[in-house]
Protein backbone atom coordinates (compact mmCIF):
# COMPACT_ATOMS: atom_id res chain seq x y z
CA UNK A 1 0.00 0.00 0.00
CA UNK A 2 1.30 3.48 -0.81
CA UNK A 3 1.66 5.92 2.08
CA UNK A 4 1.28 9.66 2.15
CA UNK A 5 3.13 11.82 4.65
CA UNK A 6 -0.08 13.29 6.03
CA UNK A 7 -1.53 9.94 7.17
CA UNK A 8 -0.35 7.93 10.15
CA UNK A 9 -1.53 4.40 10.89
CA UNK A 10 -5.30 4.95 11.05
CA UNK A 11 -7.88 5.32 8.29
CA UNK A 12 -10.36 7.59 10.03
CA UNK A 13 -13.10 7.18 7.42
CA UNK A 14 -13.15 3.37 7.70
CA UNK A 15 -12.01 3.14 11.33
CA UNK A 16 -9.21 0.77 10.41
CA UNK A 17 -5.68 0.29 11.64
CA UNK A 18 -3.54 0.27 8.49
CA UNK A 19 -0.36 -1.09 10.02
CA UNK A 20 1.09 -4.51 9.21
CA UNK A 21 -2.38 -6.02 9.62
CA UNK A 22 -5.52 -4.07 8.78
CA UNK A 23 -7.79 -4.23 11.80
CA UNK A 24 -11.17 -2.82 12.74
CA UNK A 25 -10.64 -0.30 15.55
CA UNK A 26 -14.22 0.74 16.27
CA UNK A 27 -13.73 -0.43 19.88
CA UNK A 28 -10.65 1.82 20.26
CA UNK A 29 -11.81 5.42 19.73
CA UNK A 30 -8.59 6.69 21.32
CA UNK A 31 -6.76 5.59 18.16
CA UNK A 32 -9.00 7.79 16.01
CA UNK A 33 -8.34 10.74 18.33
CA UNK A 34 -4.60 10.05 18.19
CA UNK A 35 -4.68 10.00 14.38
CA UNK A 36 -6.46 13.35 14.33
CA UNK A 37 -3.70 14.77 16.56
CA UNK A 38 -1.07 13.25 14.29
CA UNK A 39 -2.57 14.91 11.23
CA UNK A 40 -3.34 18.26 12.86
CA UNK A 41 -0.12 18.73 14.84
CA UNK A 42 2.70 16.37 13.99
CA UNK A 43 2.60 16.51 10.20
CA UNK A 44 3.23 20.27 10.27
CA UNK A 45 6.16 19.66 12.66
CA UNK A 46 7.76 17.25 10.20
CA UNK A 47 7.03 14.12 12.23
CA UNK A 48 5.95 11.40 9.83
CA UNK A 49 5.74 7.62 10.13
CA UNK A 50 9.27 6.25 10.34
CA UNK A 51 11.05 9.49 11.26
CA UNK A 52 13.39 9.47 14.29
CA UNK A 53 10.81 11.41 16.32
CA UNK A 54 8.15 8.79 15.71
CA UNK A 55 10.56 5.89 16.30
CA UNK A 56 11.61 7.46 19.60
CA UNK A 57 8.00 8.13 20.60
CA UNK A 58 6.98 4.57 19.74
CA UNK A 59 9.82 3.01 21.74
CA UNK A 60 9.13 5.26 24.73
CA UNK A 61 5.41 4.44 24.55
CA UNK A 62 6.13 0.73 24.52
CA UNK A 63 8.52 1.08 27.46
CA UNK A 64 6.29 3.37 29.48
CA UNK A 65 2.75 2.11 29.01
CA UNK A 66 1.20 0.24 31.90
CA UNK A 67 0.38 -3.43 31.61
CA UNK A 68 -3.21 -2.78 32.69
CA UNK A 69 -3.70 -0.34 29.78
CA UNK A 70 -2.29 -2.87 27.31
CA UNK A 71 -4.49 -5.65 28.67
CA UNK A 72 -7.62 -3.50 28.61
CA UNK A 73 -7.02 -2.39 25.00
CA UNK A 74 -6.13 -5.94 23.92
CA UNK A 75 -9.47 -7.12 25.32
CA UNK A 76 -11.39 -4.41 23.45
CA UNK A 77 -9.43 -4.92 20.22
CA UNK A 78 -9.58 -8.70 20.33
CA UNK A 79 -5.94 -8.85 19.25
CA UNK A 80 -2.46 -7.99 20.48
CA UNK A 81 -0.58 -5.57 18.23
CA UNK A 82 1.81 -3.50 20.38
CA UNK A 83 2.25 -0.76 17.79
CA UNK A 84 -1.49 -0.31 17.49
CA UNK A 85 -2.20 -0.57 21.21
CA UNK A 86 0.40 2.08 22.09
CA UNK A 87 -0.47 4.46 19.24
CA UNK A 88 -2.26 7.03 21.45
CA UNK A 89 0.78 7.22 23.76
CA UNK A 90 3.13 7.36 20.77
CA UNK A 91 1.31 10.41 19.47
CA UNK A 92 1.21 12.09 22.90
CA UNK A 93 4.95 11.60 23.26
CA UNK A 94 5.71 12.80 19.73
CA UNK A 95 3.63 15.93 20.33
CA UNK A 96 5.51 16.58 23.57
CA UNK A 97 9.03 16.13 22.19
CA UNK A 98 8.35 18.22 19.08
CA UNK A 99 7.20 21.25 21.07
CA UNK A 100 9.54 24.18 20.50
CA UNK A 101 9.97 24.87 24.23
CA UNK A 102 10.82 21.23 24.91
CA UNK A 103 13.40 21.11 22.10
CA UNK A 104 14.91 24.46 23.17
CA UNK A 105 15.52 23.11 26.66
CA UNK A 106 17.42 20.16 25.18
CA UNK A 107 19.55 22.38 22.95
CA UNK A 108 20.70 24.41 25.96
CA UNK A 109 24.35 23.38 26.59
CA UNK A 110 23.88 24.02 30.32
CA UNK A 111 22.02 20.69 30.55
CA UNK A 112 24.27 17.61 30.36
CA UNK A 113 23.00 14.53 28.47
CA UNK A 114 22.15 12.56 31.63
CA UNK A 115 20.04 15.44 32.94
CA UNK A 116 18.33 15.74 29.55
CA UNK A 117 17.51 12.02 29.37
CA UNK A 118 16.21 12.03 32.96
CA UNK A 119 13.95 15.03 32.35
CA UNK A 120 12.69 13.63 29.07
CA UNK A 121 11.83 10.30 30.71
CA UNK A 122 9.99 12.03 33.57
CA UNK A 123 8.06 14.35 31.22
CA UNK A 124 7.05 11.48 28.97
CA UNK A 125 5.94 9.32 31.90
CA UNK A 126 3.84 12.19 33.25
CA UNK A 127 2.19 12.69 29.86
CA UNK A 128 1.11 9.06 29.47
CA UNK A 129 0.46 8.15 33.12
CA UNK A 130 -1.64 10.94 34.63
CA UNK A 131 -1.85 9.56 38.18
CA UNK A 132 0.25 7.47 40.55
CA UNK A 133 3.72 8.79 41.32
CA UNK A 134 5.20 5.30 41.80
CA UNK A 135 3.81 4.11 38.47
CA UNK A 136 5.22 7.24 36.81
CA UNK A 137 8.67 6.67 38.33
CA UNK A 138 8.79 3.03 37.20
CA UNK A 139 7.63 4.10 33.77
CA UNK A 140 10.28 6.84 33.64
CA UNK A 141 12.98 4.28 34.45
CA UNK A 142 11.86 2.04 31.59
CA UNK A 143 11.65 5.02 29.25
CA UNK A 144 15.15 6.14 30.21
CA UNK A 145 16.46 2.65 29.33
CA UNK A 146 14.72 2.90 25.95
CA UNK A 147 16.29 6.32 25.35
CA UNK A 148 19.77 4.97 26.15
CA UNK A 149 19.19 2.09 23.73
CA UNK A 150 18.09 4.47 20.97
CA UNK A 151 21.14 6.62 21.64
CA UNK A 152 23.44 3.60 21.28
CA UNK A 153 21.70 2.78 17.99
CA UNK A 154 22.36 6.34 16.76
CA UNK A 155 18.68 7.36 16.61
CA UNK A 156 18.46 11.07 17.35
CA UNK A 157 14.91 12.32 17.86
CA UNK A 158 16.09 15.95 17.72
CA UNK A 159 16.64 15.82 13.96
Q: Where residue 58 falls among pLDDT bands split at 50, 70, 90?
A: very high
The predicted model gives 102-118 an average pLDDT of 83
Domain ranges of the chain: 48-152
* Torsion region of 46: left, alpha or beta (phi above 0 gives left; psi -120 to 50 gives alpha): left
**How many Å apart are CA 55 and CA 90, to the nearest integer?**
9
For residue 58, CA distances in Å to 51, 107, 134, 157 come to 11, 22, 22, 11
Which alpha helices (DSSP H) does the chain contain, by range?
29-37, 52-64, 67-77, 82-85, 87-97, 100-107, 113-128, 133-152
pTM of the model: 0.90
pLDDT tens, residue by residue, 91-104: 999 999 999 988 88
Instruction: Give the residue among 158, 75, 67, 65 at the shortest CA–CA distance from 117.
Output: 158
Amino acid sequence: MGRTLTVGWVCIAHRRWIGHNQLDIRALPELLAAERHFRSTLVSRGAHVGTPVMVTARECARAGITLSTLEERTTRAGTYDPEMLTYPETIKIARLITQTSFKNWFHDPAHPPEQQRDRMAREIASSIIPTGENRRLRSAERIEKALRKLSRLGINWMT
